[in-house]
């Protein structure tokens, strides 16, 4: 009968644990301001001033779209993010189409007859749509790639290219046939007011880069907010959860293998698991003779689970207790309940109606052991997963 009651206690406890709500990471707030002055610190274009101005207005429109809708929705909705970016108002108050004017100014500056291939990359950049599932990754700028000779200004013998990663592919336009810059190309860049074509391409990059300013800024702030929340959760885990031994950490790490080894940042485990977990208890035998009713005992939690972050943190373990008694069986088996991560008590059956109730002394805290559970888990993850 006693074992039946203990079994019922186990079932009820497991039901309570499974329905206790654990805290989740809060959704992050999009903390940005749609203000053109935010971009004042960006490098100013020398030749492509008008184009840079249009890029800033493009960024401003995407910013307004983000603030008008939750960030989580926008990150999966490129059409909403780009809404209105082809109908913008310039600094002079006139309406303009970002895509069309970008393409026109780009092509007008770099004569496609002299710089073959420039038209294709300009058109692709002006009309692209970022991948649906990766807004920030899709908002890429232009990359000017040069070798060491280019960096030293030895233009006639360097390798120079302009790269743009579009939604479909990587567009890589080389300004040179082999390693020689034609006289026509060099003269064209100088007519624009640059000492060489390297300067011209870098100026083009400065002019284009602002278009993605607020998207990247919002993503960065979102990441910082998420990390702050994540660190807080690990601090709560370290401060509030039950103490775990090396074996307990190993078991929990193995159970949460996929979560800890995924691409996303790992949150603390919702449940703690215990295996062969030792403890010291005060064991009380109500049926024992006077003077033998209370004994110190040793406990072993053979296997256990604890939901450390529930509204009411609850846990349960299958437990055996050894007590040095002068009469009766010294070993009993039963369950231990854990409440609020600090208080543990239970009941064991020694057969023939010989039962006792006990309270765990939580001796780990008695001896002042204060560990950083987060750091311990990181260390164990590396050891057990071979990372």
* Token pair belonging to 78: 């490129």
Nearest C-alpha neighbor of 197 from the set 185, 210, 180: 185
pLDDT at 307: 92
* Token pair belonging to 381: 């993850």
* Token pair belonging to 80: 């909403």
Distances (CA, A) of 211 to 140, 144, 145, 167, 203: 9, 17, 20, 16, 14
pLDDT at 73: 58
Nearest C-alpha neighbor of 145 from the set 169, 170, 163, 121: 163
**Is residue 183 packed enough to be buried (19+ CB in 10 Å), middle (13-18) or exposed (0-12)?**
exposed
Chain centroid offset of residue 77 CA: 20
| Cα gap 333→354, rounded to integer Å | 11
Asked whether the beta carbons of 311 and 290 are under 8 A apart, the reply is no
* Token pair belonging to 344: 């543990």
pLDDT at 285: 82
One digit per residue, the tens of pLDDT, for the chain of length 387 reads 555 555 555 555 555 555 544 444 444 456 778 888 889 999 999 999 999 999 999 999 988 888 887 656 555 677 788 888 888 888 788 889 988 988 998 888 888 888 888 888 888 888 876 666 566 667 777 777 777 666 665 555 666 677 776 655 566 777 765 566 678 888 888 899 998 888 888 899 899 889 888 888 887 777 667 777 778 888 888 888 898 989 998 998 888 887 777 556 678 888 999 999 998 888 888 766 665 678 888 999 999 999 998 888 999 999 999 988 777 788 889 999 998 888 899 999 887 778 888 988 764 554 444 455 556 655 655 555 444
* Token pair belonging to 180: 């020689």
């Amino acid at each position: 009968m006693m074992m039946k009651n203990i079994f019922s206690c186990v079932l009820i406890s497991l039901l309570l644990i499974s329905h206790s709500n654990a805290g989740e990471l809060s959704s992050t707030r999009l903390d940005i301001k749609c203000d053109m002055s935010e971009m004042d610190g960006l490098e100013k274009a020398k030749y492509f001033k008008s184009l840079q101005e249009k890029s800033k207005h493009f960024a401003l429109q995407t910013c307004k779209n983000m603030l008008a809708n939750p960030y989580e929705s926008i990150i999966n909705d490129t059409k909403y993010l780009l809404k209105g970016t082809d109908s913008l108002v310039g600094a002079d108050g006139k309406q303009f189409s970002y895509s069309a004017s970008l393409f026109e100014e780009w092509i007008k500056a770099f004569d496609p007859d002299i710089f073959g291939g420039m038209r294709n990359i300009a058109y692709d950049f002006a009309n692209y749509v970022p991948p649906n599932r990766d807004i920030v990754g899709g908002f890429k700028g232009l990359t000017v790639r040069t070798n060491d000779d280019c960096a030293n200004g030895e233009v006639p013998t360097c390798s120079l290219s302009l790269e743009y990663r579009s939604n479909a592919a990587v567009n890589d336009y080389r300004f040179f046939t082999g390693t020689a810059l034609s006289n026509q190309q060099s003269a064209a860049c100088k007519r624009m007011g640059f000492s060489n074509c390297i300067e011209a391409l870098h100026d083009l990059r400065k002019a284009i880069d602002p278009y993605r300013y607020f998207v990247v800024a919002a993503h960065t702030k979102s990441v910082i907010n998420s990390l702050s929340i994540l660190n807080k959760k690990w601090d709560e885990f370290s401060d509030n959860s039950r103490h775990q031994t090396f074996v307990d950490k190993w078991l929990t790490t193995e159970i949460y293998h996929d979560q800890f080894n995924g691409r996303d940042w790992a949150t603390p485990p919702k449940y703690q698991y215990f295996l062969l977990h030792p403890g010291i208890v005060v064991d009380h035998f109500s049926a024992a003779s006077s003077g033998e009713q209370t004994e110190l005992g040793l406990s072993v939690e053979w296997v256990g689970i604890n939901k450390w972050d529930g509204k009411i943190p609850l846990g349960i373990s299958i437990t055996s207790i050894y007590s040095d008694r002068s009469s009766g069986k010294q070993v009993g088996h039963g369950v231990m309940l854990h409440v609020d991560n600090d208080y543990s008590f239970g009941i064991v059956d020694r057969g023939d109606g010989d039962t006792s109730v006990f309270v765990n002394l939580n001796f780990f805290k008695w001896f002042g052991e204060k560990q950083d559970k987060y750091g311990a888990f990181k260390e164990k993850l590396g050891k057990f997963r071979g990372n």
